[in-house]
Structure 1
Amino acid sequence: MASSKQTKGFLFGAIAGGIIGSVTALLFAPKAGKELRHDISEGARRVQEQTVRAAGQVSDTTVRIAKQIGNQATELADTARAAAGAAVSTVKQRRAELAESVEEVTDEVTDTFEEAAEEVFEDAKQLQTIN
């Protein structure tokens, strides 16, 4: 942003300096009126050409910078998209692993509970037969 302001300031300063310098040189030069008017118009034409050339360079630079920014933004978006996809994939994988672990623990607890219940039931049967 500051570079754009500096470029504009330099461009306006160069144009103003060119115009003032040309007019000053022409006005203080000892020439006839017709010759002076021709020199003034020639100087104005040169300043106009320089202005057009400078504007073209500024335009080209602006287009180039805009393309670079666009390309960088696209690359950044692609990188962010890939990172988000990787994160989602990792979360899904972790969720599946946790679900599998929970299922294994649940099965172990169920088996242990069933075994304990059978032992209690058998112990209860033995107690009934004893009594």
Structure 2
Amino acid sequence: MKTKSFIAGIVAGGVIGSVATLLTTPLPGKELRHSVKVNYNTTKDNLLTAKQEGIALKSQFQQTWNEGVNKMKATASEMKDSVDDWKDDIKPHLHQLQKEIDELQKTIDETKRTPKKEHDEKL
């Protein structure tokens, strides 16, 4: 929608510029026709250039978008693989840590079961 407004602005500007030139130029008929023809061709060329640049910009945007999507997919996949590798690396340590926690809990439970009197005698 914005492209259409931009092109409409260029066309309107070209028409207004041409009309203003016609009304304010003190040129003879032959020179005036030549001037109008030159202005027309310039406006036509400008519109064609704007159209081509718009098409190129759209194509570049689509290409950039697709590259961004592909990079995001690759990054997400790499992150998932990295997390999976980390999980695999930590598993043996996790098992060992769990064993140590269980042993500590066992020691705490034994300490709780030891009568206070026996504990005081040891000190």
Q: TM-score, normalised by structure 1?
A: 0.54
Alpha-carbon deviation of 1:61? 2.1
Contact (CA 8 Å) 2:10, 2:47: kept in 1 or not?
A: no
Question: Is residue 2:44 matched to residue 1:48?
Answer: yes
C-alpha distance after superposition, 1:73-115 (max 9, x if no partner): 11011122223444566778899xxxxxxxxxxxxxxxxxxxx
C-alpha distance after superposition, 1:14-68 (max 9, x if no partner): 3321221122212332333333222211110010111122222222322222221
What is the rounded CA distance, in whole Å, between the counterparts of 2:15 and 2:70 in structure 1?
43
State, as a whole percentage, how many aligned pairs show the same letter: 25
Equivalent position amino acid for 2:76 in 1? A
Partner of 2:58: 62
What is the rounded CA distance, in whole Å, between the counterparts of 1:91 and 1:15 in structure 2?
63
Greater relative contact order (CA < 8 Å, ≥ 6 in sequence): 2
Aligned residues: 102
Equivalent position amino acid for 1:13 in 2? G
Question: Is residue 2:23 matched to residue 1:20?
Answer: no
Partner of 2:74: 78
Q: TM-score, normalised by structure 2?
A: 0.56
Structure 2 gaps, min length 5: 92-123
What is the rounded CA distance, in whole Å, between the counterparts of 1:12 and 1:77 in structure 2?
40
Root-mean-square deviation (CA), in Å?
3.6
Structure 1 gaps, min length 5: 96-131
Partner of 2:108: none
